[in-house]
Structure 1
Amino acid sequence: MSIPGGMLGVAWPSMRETFAVPLDALGTLLLVSTGGHICMSFLFGWLNDRLGFGKLLLGSNVLVVIGLLGYLLSPGWWPLVGVGFISGMGLGAIDSGLNAYFAVNHNARLMNWLHACFGLGVTIGPMIMTAVLTRNLSWRVGYGVAVGLQLLVVVLMVLTQHRWPQVGESAGGDDAGGETAVSASSIFRMGIIWLSMGVFFLVAGHESAVGNWIFTLLNEGRGVAVATAGLWTSLYWGSFTIGRIFFGLFADRMDTNRLLRINLLAVAAGTALIWLNLTHWLTFAGLAVVGFALAPIFPLLVLETPRRISARFANSAIGFQVGAAGIGLSVFPGLTGIFAERFGIESIGSSLLLWAVLLFGLHEG
């Protein structure tokens, strides 16, 4: 599910030429796709109770295939934006479902490794798209590869349907049973939910803004060659993946709050190196630090949800948090693009630093 997301940042300069849209139009695409993501995230608990986790996950993967086919075949900009909503719906349900399942049934190690698999996908995605573009092929070829890979996932889901929780079997495990009696309004009355959603909003927003705009900043703003900028975009996600594998090995033995604080400081420091633009190599080092430090934050926050709130509320609470993260996925790249259009591409670095500082401040506040 994460390979297409990794492709977008590298493909965007070519896509906007194809459709003759301005630099900040990426924000529109992300906003609409995030709308689909949010809808399914907030409806996850309700849909899971009625369809069963296995069927919901299969249907969601089919939606992603339909959306990616739209990227591959879209004749114009607005049809592309429309299919972005469809793919966003599929991704929202998959995201919420897998996070809820792992949060209740598994430990910090496996939760980090689940998210490491996400990081592996967004590492491979830019590599695929860079290979396509450096061979003077259309960006659509990259999305054709993504369609093929997602179809393989659908086939695997069909073959393994009997292994997934069905109707009446909670994706969140036995402790999550009875959540059907919990209303969304009762969850929203908990102050901790709003604070938690705000942190998820900023974590995902910063992560996405870096991934979607670093290629443009390096290539169009700082004159870094296409192949090099694409490589470093992949290495950002690569450090992200390595970080999740690393922290997966040791997270169970670490104090979660202390680890989160240290990593959020490292995110701000690495982003400052990108903003300062002292040398290309220091910028690349800052990018690697940001990816590595961001790695455990999202999975650890998800994992803590059943403990902070109650396993009984886990499916809906995690759905709301993932929904907030989905909003951040579009809002912060969108704002970064608006600032870049109005103040110049170099303002991307300033925007990224602002998001990192806000994230640290909200978490510590």
Structure 2
Amino acid sequence: MYLLLLAIIYLAFISLGLPDSLVGAGWPVMHEDLGVPVSYAGGITFIIAVGTIISSLASERLTRRFGAGLVTAVSVAMTAAALLGFSVATHYWMLCLWAIPYGLGAGAVDAALNNYVALHYTARHMNWLHSFWGVGASISPFVMSLALSANGNWPAAYRAIGLLQIGLTAVLLASLPLWRRIAAIRPGDGAQAAEAADGAEPDGTAEAASVVDGGRAAQTHVSLLAALRIPGVPSVLLAFFAYCAFEQTAMLWGATFFVSDRGFEASSAASFGALFVLGLTAGRFLCGFFADRVGDRALIRGGFLLGAVGALLVALPLGAVSFMGFALAGVGAAPVYPAIIHSTPENFGRRNSQAIIGIQMAAAYTGTTIMPPLFGIISGRVGLWLLPFYLLALALLGLAMTERLNGLKRS
């Protein structure tokens, strides 16, 4: 029963990843059909990210009132409705309107599920969980590529992913009795049993007991100001900001970069842009096998360094090398997000983890809100050739902040 719950959490992360690559993959054609400048992609992602920030900050209250199972199912349903709305949009303002439920649906479950896994499961599960997000994010660009190959029919891609999300919503709704059954068990027991059944060391304690569905976490409330005063928290927030800006900028502008700066066809560029997400997904899957042995700090350090190397390779005016660099940047980015989340209880204490992970989610979405549109504005004046150097600066910022955090923990 408990492993089945974990499988459902994995399924939820597939659904979270499905919409994330669609806008970037289809935008080279979408902006022409809608008659807007290429830089307007940043406006859509800004609205999505603001909605995600709002829903992530509200997730604790929503989960306490309605239960994680219902919140997850409704969130996926909202995303499905938004995608179907995109598929019938004929004007840019329509995309902006549908971006509101798009963002609200994406963020409601993120902080709660990430904290639950960080407290109760080992690093391998955290990496594999986010690898399943990458599975969803990897599917979308190929669906868009197929749709663009068929006479540039980008609405068909949104329609297909929207219908798939409806199917996932049905599965999640069918699983609600399971969430209610586990809710009747003392919080924390389910996760411990799942880890034991999986052959891993149980990682739940009475102090860190968390909710699976509907209850309250057995932790003292930590205010925002109190969390920000904890040594190292500002550094990890900046690192998370930089990482998520790196990831989202690469996903949003990769295909457009290959079309406008390197001269490839839009349908081919959509597939090339997916190389980052494929590297991200494969990297997280592989990291799951050795994450417990290597440790979170080494994964974060190595990830930022490899992401920086990948960005430098993208800058080279060689087609095959640029593609390899884009994939390598994805592989490097792979362990950073899950490792930062998983290390939060160790770095700042289990009692503080829920509050800090919630703030980390807000910092992450702030990065995805500000930095990709900012690149759109800058590249509109300077040129899309700037993309790899922009990514390099973000990777180095993330590396510097995490090394500063490590220094504080050693002192």
Q: TM-score, length-normalised on structure 2?
A: 0.83
Matched, 1:4 2:43: no
Say which is worse superposed, 326-335 or 188-197, in terms of deviation: 188-197
| Partner SS for 1:67 | helix
Deviation at residue 167 of structure 1 after TM alignment = 9.3
Where does residue 80 of structure 1 map in the other structure?
Answer: 95
Letter in 2 for 1:186: A
- Name whichever of 351-360 and 279-288 sits farther off: 351-360
How big is the shift at 1:263? Answer: 2.1
Residue in 2 aligned with 1:48?
Answer: 63
Match of 1:4, SS state, is coil
**Would you say 1:186 and 2:218 are equivalent positions?**
no
Q: Does the aligned pair in 2 maintain the 1:41–1:320 contact within 8 Å?
A: no
Q: Report the more deviating stretch, 97-106 or 153-162.
A: 97-106
1:125 equivalent to 2:140? Answer yes
Q: Distance in 2 between matches of 1:339 and 1:103?
A: 37
Q: Where does residue 77 of structure 2 map in the other structure?
A: 62
Measured in 2, the distance between the counterparts of 1:153 and 1:201 equals 30
Change (3 A) 1:291 1:213: same
Do 1:336 and 1:352's aligned partners in 2 also have CA atoms closer than 8 Å? no
Distance 1:170 1:192 in 2: 29
Distance in 2, Cα, partners of 1:167 & 1:62: 26
What is the CA–CA distance in structure 2 between the aligned matches of 1:54 and 1:180, rounded to whole Å? 24
Question: What are the ranges of 5 or more consecutive residues in structure 2 without an aligned counterpart?
Answer: 1-15, 192-203, 211-216, 405-411
What is the CA distance between 1:103 and its match in structure 2? 1.1
User: Is the counterpart of residue 228 in structure 1 residue 243 in structure 2?
Assistant: no
Q: 1:363 aligns with which of 375, 393, 402?
A: 402
Correspondence list, 1:16-165, <5 A: 16-164=31-179
Q: Provide closer, same or farther for how the CA distance between residues 68 and 169 of structure 1 changes in structure 2, counting only shifts above 3 A.
A: farther
Contact 2:379 2:386 in 1 (8 A): yes
2:407 aligned residue: none
Higher mean alpha-carbon deviation, 164-173 vs 33-42, is at 164-173
> In structure 2, what is the Cα distance between the partners aligned to 1:310 and 1:361?
22
Tell me by how many angstroms 1:361 deviates.
2.2
Aligned to 1:332: 371
Match in the other structure for 1:219: 259
Task: Please tell me the residue identity of whatever aligns with 1:207.
Answer: E
Question: 1:12 Cα shift?
Answer: 0.7
Single out whichever of 223-232 and 111-120 deviates more from structure 2.
Answer: 223-232
Matches within 5 A, 1:156-305: 156-164=171-179, 166=183, 175=208, 176=210, 177-179=217-219, 181-277=221-317, 279-305=318-344
Amino acid at match of 2:328: V
Higher relative contact order (CA 8 A, sep 6+): 1
Contact 2:236 2:401 in 1 (8 A): no
Q: Find the aligned partners of 2:251 and 2:291 in 1 and give their Cα distance.
A: 25
TM-score by length of 1: 0.93
**Aligned counterpart, 1:347:** 386
Q: What is the deviation of 1:137?
A: 4.1
Relative to 1, partners in 2 of residues 1:243 and 1:12: Cα closer, same or farther, differing over 3 Å?
same
How much identity, in percent, do the aligned residues show? 29
Cα distance, 1:201 vs structure 2: 0.9
Please give the alpha-carbon distance, in whole angstroms, between the structure 2 residues aligned to 1:208 and 1:168.
Answer: 38
Structure 1 residues 92-134: Cα deviation after superposition (integer angstroms, max 9, x where no partner): 1132232122111211111111111111111111000001001
Q: Shift of residue 229 of structure 1?
A: 1.9
Residue identity opposite 1:273 in structure 2? L
CA, structure 1 residues 149+189, in 2 after alignment: closer, same or farther (shift >3 Å)? same
> What secondary structure sits across from 1:5 in the alignment?
coil
**What code does the residue aligned with 1:77 have?**
Y
* Residues 167, 20 of structure 1: alpha-carbon distance in 2 compared, 3 angstrom cutoff: farther
Report the CA distance between 1:27 and its aligned residue.
1.2
1:51–1:167 CA contact under 8 A, matched in 2: no
Q: 1:303 to 1:322 in 2, by over 3 A?
A: same
Counterpart CA distance in 2 for 1:6 and 1:67 is 14
Output the CA distance in 1 between the equivalents of 2:105 and 2:140. Answer: 18
Q: Secondary structure at the match of 1:59?
A: helix
Greater percentage in helix: 1
AA matched with 1:190: I
Q: How far does the alpha carbon of each residue in 1:272-322 deviate from its partner, in whole angstroms, 9 at most, with x for none?
A: 111232x11111111121111110110011111122223333333212211
Whole-angstrom CA distance in 1 between matches of 2:158 and 2:46: 20
SS in 1 for 2:108: helix
C-alpha RMSD of matched pairs (Å)? 2.1
